[in-house]
Structure 1
């Protein structure tokens, strides 16, 4: 969570920051809500640029922790692997020439983390609309979101939400590595209950707080809300809505390739369900928020979530 991060004394004061123009859009979350699916789709879109690595974490990890902190080092190693995979073009989506990519990699891995450095990561050879996807940005503080806006006041914000109980369960499975464990999840209930009720997990499912913070800094028309459920129900409609929102028309045929759709949920919950009593407790916790979401979105998917919770609590 933002409040737990170590403060880096090298961070510039916000009143000294000027707009830099890029990125054009951010996907800020929610975690475990299909943002990896979105990334693999968007990097196939010919008139759009997303960086070779997903989740740059500039506004949290990259600037809030010292250079040699283990969290930053772990993230850097992961990004080196992802960058090499992109460079080798294993998925056939890399449209940049090798010389440009080498320069991008040198800039990304070697230069100091400044606003101008961050903005430069989105300047591709064709000057396409560009943006990044970092789900942790949904937990940024009000002050940090104001700093996001200072880089580009015209930036578009995309926030994709999921049934909060299902999202919390997916994160718990990932945090505990339950999908790699042998046996039923019932035997790990004490661990599960501790993690799923932790402030880290609950905050990432606190959609109202995220919405209120970002809407207090950006104009409402600069924010697009999507739902994880749309990935299985109407994936093409979701993509068209997102691309139209950021100023692009039409979804490339290769963006809807079926091999990409298989990525969503691949390592989600190991195919096993949350223990029933924990699910009921979480439904009770999130029901008031879901009722407010249902009101704000005039029904929609939050209405389906509410109905499911009420059945669980009967």
Structure 2
């Protein structure tokens, strides 16, 4: 099959999956409008990002714990987007203007969201949607009003590596392409320097916004630490959620990479541009966490 045609089919399959998911979401919301009998409860915790920073790994690991109940699928996106508006969302649909139907002012929509955790009983429950990290202050205030007792888990990764991983994933998922197959270096630069990509690595801004509403309720993790000792990181997560460490101590496989995409070297110009953009936040992070991040830049 012609390679260009294969890429077109790959893109069409992705678009078809997104349309199918959109229809399912709308049907589920319509059902929640009348289904007052649905068991509901608030989530106990959220994984808020950052994208491309081992959030899928965390979801898969926590799903092994019998005392933790997660949403059936990762990345619910309920809190992300007001009804009738669109936004860039991270993943296979990066760079696309995706419409989602959720409205945080609609009690029926909240019933649908809380029904995701109604089956969890007395287990600790939650969901992980990485783009929650970039919610603006007003949106976080609305979340706080509805979910005042949330705990939050936030993973940070070298922002340059994180952004480049996102570019590679976008090209691979949407077009089955490697970055070196993109003929224009300027195109790769534009992809890496888009505002929605840069925002996901603005950790200082994310921390400031979320801590304004949820002080002392955020567990900060680092991708570097997961690579060194994933088991120890999971112990910290269990302690934060007040669940027994034991089930994850014996589960194994914690160092396996998940949701990975083919590797490709980052162009020096792209690296330099990202380094210049992210360098100003390092003093804030180093002071807050008492560790050096100079190796990131």
1:180 alignment counterpart: 176
Matched, 1:35 2:55: yes
**Contact 1:24–1:130 (CA under 8 A) maintained in structure 2:** yes
1:205 to 201, 204, 210: 201
Deviation for aligned residue 1:149: 1.4
**Are the counterparts in 2 of residues 37 and 263 from structure 1 also a CA contact under 8 Å?**
yes
Q: Which residue pairs with 1:24 in the alignment?
A: 44
CA distance in 2, matches of 1:126, 1:273: 47
Larger RCO, structure (CA 8 Å, separation 6 or more): 1
What is the count of residue pairs matched by the alignment?
245
Structure 1 residues 172 and 183: alpha-carbon distance in aligned structure 2, compared to 1, 3 A threshold:
closer
**Aligned pairs (5 A) from 1:209-288:** 209-219=205-215, 221-253=216-248, 256-258=251-253, 261-264=255-258, 266-267=260-261, 270-288=262-280
Give the match for residue 13 of structure 1. Answer: none
The alignment's C-alpha RMSD in Å is 2.9
Cα distance change on mapping 1:120 and 1:203 into 2, 3 Å: same
SS at match of 2:152: strand
Q: Where in structure 2 are there 5+ consecutive unaligned residues? A: 1-39, 87-95
Q: Which residue of 1 aligns with 2:190?
A: 194
Task: Give the secondary-structure state (helix, strand or coil) at the position aligned to 2:79.
Answer: helix
Report the 3-state secondary structure (helix = DSSP H, G, I; strand = E; otherwise coil) of the residue aligned with 2:80: helix
The aligned counterpart of 2:31 is: none
The 1:253/1:144 distance shift into structure 2, 3 A limit, reads: closer
User: Which residue in the other structure is 2:147 paired with?
Assistant: 152
Match of residue 133 from structure 2 = 138
Displacement of 1:183 in angstroms is 7.7
For 1:156 and 1:134, locate their aligned partners in 2 and report how far apart those are by CA, in whole Å: 14
1: CA distance between counterparts of 2:190 and 2:145?
38
- The 3-state SS of whatever aligns with 1:210 is helix
Say which SS state the counterpart of residue 28 (structure 1) adopts: strand
Q: Distance in 2 between matches of 1:132 and 1:175?
A: 23
Match of 2:91 in 1: none
Runs of 4+ in 1 over 6 A off after TM superposition: none
Q: Is the Cα contact below 8 Å between 2:204 and 2:281 reproduced in 1?
A: yes
Say whether the 8 Å CA contact 1:45–1:255 is kept in structure 2.
no
Q: Post-superposition shift, 1:249? A: 2.5
Residue matched to 1:56: 76
Residues in 2 aligned to 1:240 and 1:214: alpha-carbon distance in whole angstroms? 24
Displacement after TM superposition at 1:181 (Å): 2.4
Partner of 2:23: none
Instruction: Provide the secondary structure at the position in 2 that maps to 1:177.
Output: helix
Q: Which of residues 290, 294, 297 in structure 2 aligns to 1:306?
A: 294
Q: Is the 8 A contact 2:84 2:99 kept in 1?
A: no
TM norm structure 1 = 0.70
Residue 49 of structure 2 aligns to a residue whose secondary structure is: coil
3-state DSSP class of the match of 1:124? helix
